[in-house]
Amino acid sequence: VRTTTSPQLLALLPVERGSGSPLHQQIYEGLRRAILERRLRAGQRVPATRVLACELGVSRLPVLTAYEQLLHEGYLEGRVGSGTFVATTLPDDALRAPAASARSRRAPAPSVTALAPRVRDAGRLRPFRVSLPALDQFPHAMWARLVAKHARALTPAHMSYGDPAGVGVLRAAIAEHLRASRAVRCEAEQLLIVSGSQAALRLCATVLLAPGDRVAIEEPGYPGARSALGTTGATLVPVPVDVGGIDVTALEKLSAGAARMRAAYVTPSHQYPLGMSMSAPRRLALLEWARHRNAWIIEDDYDSEYRYVSRPLGALQGMEEHGRVIYVGTFSKVLFPALRVGYLIVPPALWEQFVAAREALDLFSPTLYQLVLADFIREGHFVRHLRRMRGVYLRRRDALLDGLSRHCADELELLNADAGLHVATTLRAGADDEDVVRRAALEKLSPAALSACYLGGERRSGLLLGFGGFNERRITRATRTLGEILRAQR
């Protein structure tokens, strides 16, 4: 497709052979700069790869590589066969406050490649995206009523500096809920409100890990935990998981070295990303490891409320008496991620240190939303919402399983679909999951690559398919498209 833009575009792409920078990199950077500087406008069509390659006097491959990268990062959007366009919402816009946009346009753009995939994908609600709850099912009217009520009634005390541990009524409401539904041992006095589990894990790093310490993480595991736990200069030690959860025998062997293994990060209720829950013997072995090694366990209980095959399993934290477990929870999956409310249950011996670190980080979380959330829980709306959502997610999960068996059965193997808001799958041998993710992005689908969850060299290739955020019709349609993408790749 020839477009009138290509002569102007050529002026923006001074591609130089032998400059030391690969051609695809030069094309990528030139196009990205042109988009960020608004020389290429949102929605504008860019030339077909063949046309641009011809006009630049290069082969098509570097142009294709550059386009794929820009599509993947959200600067371009398009459909195979109907052209490629400058995206209407740029990834950088999502990262920039509107008032600051004029200033930051002149400032160097943030390095998108350095950001986590979830941040790069901010605002893109596309089928298969992991970590998305059913935002269309949220009880907006009730929430709005509570927000309005508390906004009107804010006292000067509520508008001033708050308690770094969080608002008392919210801490009490969460502690009560956790005791009843998660078999957690806790009092409100041990519960610290923070801005989501990411902040909770960041605090764990600050309090527990000094430079040179070692921390065990599940392999494969949650990339967000890697970035948070690595911030203080500790060494991340990947420990394999099997059907029972983290391999405690391997953990014990890896703990025997000179440098102390200070902590282990685990997702016992629903292993991220593979989906199984930690078996009872494994839980006991892990607790014994922590006691014997004088180490901490960081339990991330991020989406344990949703189990489809049996009742939700109790938390690991509730199984021990020695105060070795730091329990991390979040409202990101059970309500919505933009709320940014998570919490930690901290053993008494660590309480003062955690509160001091939390205060040093960002003082405290916004009081208004803590008050709203406290009422939402205390008035019973939270438990009602959870109960209703279990049915919604079950139907969405079943639509995904049905679609996968009809459209992708020869291409994907399902690992576990017992719980949570996503399923993990593996691809047939030799298939490159990052490549599938790039191709899926062209079709406006956002699966995640399983291989990105590994820290070590040996990686399984597969796809993580989120089903929480999309209705059955969209999920079914998405599985059909995914099947086409996977077959076309053979």
Ligand X SMILES: Cc1ncc(COP(=O)(O)O)c(C=O)c1O
**Under the rule (CB under 6 A), what is the footprint of ligand X?**
131, 196-198, 222, 224, 267, 272, 300, 302, 330, 332, 337, 342
- CB of 456 closer than 8 Å to CB of 341: no
Q: CB-wise, 272 or 393, nearer to ligand X?
A: 272
DSSP code at position 419: B
Can you read off the two tokens belonging to residue 113?
């490649």
Q: Are strands 462-466 and 261-266 parallel, antiparallel or unpaired?
A: unpaired
Distance of closest approach, residue 458 Cβ to ligand X, in angstroms: 21
Q: Where are the alpha helices (DSSP H) in 379-425?
A: 381-407
Q: CB-wise, 198 or 232, nearer to ligand X?
A: 198
Distance of closest approach, residue 132 Cβ to ligand X, in angstroms: 9
Segment (H or E) for 374: helix 367-378
Distance of closest approach, residue 317 Cβ to ligand X, in angstroms: 15
Alpha carbon distance 93, 89 (integer Å): 7
Conformation bin of residue 370: beta by default, left when phi > 0, alpha when psi is -120 to 50: alpha
- Given CA atoms 355, 356, 361, 366 in this order, what sign does their dihedral have? positive
Distance of closest approach, residue 182 Cβ to ligand X, in angstroms: 15
Q: Determine the number of helices (DSSP H) and then strands (DSSP E) in the chain.
A: 19, 15
Q: CB-wise, 5 or 198, nearer to ligand X?
A: 198
Q: CB-wise, 226 or 385, nearer to ligand X?
A: 226
Distance of closest approach, residue 459 Cβ to ligand X, in angstroms: 18
Alpha carbon distance 408, 429 (integer Å): 15
Nearest to 469 by CA among 451, 439, 433, 445: 445
Distance of closest approach, residue 59 Cβ to ligand X, in angstroms: 40
Q: CB-wise, 13 or 453, nearer to ligand X?
A: 453
Strand order in the sheet with 45-46: 45-46, 83-86, 76-79
- CB of 304 closer than 8 Å to CB of 334: no
Residue 66: how many other CB atoms lie within 10 Å: 25
Distance of closest approach, residue 170 Cβ to ligand X, in angstroms: 16
DSSP code at position 111: -
Distance of closest approach, residue 315 Cβ to ligand X, in angstroms: 14
Q: CB-wise, 267 or 425, nearer to ligand X?
A: 267
From start to end of 73-163, where are the E strands?
76-79, 83-86
Backbone angles phi, psi at 298, to 5 degrees: -105, 110
Q: CB-wise, 75 or 302, nearer to ligand X?
A: 302
DSSP code at position 115: S
Distance of closest approach, residue 471 Cβ to ligand X, in angstroms: 20
Alpha carbon distance 268, 314 (integer Å): 10
Distance of closest approach, residue 82 Cβ to ligand X, in angstroms: 32
Nearest to 297 by CA among 332, 245, 342, 356: 245
- CA gyration radius, the chain: 24
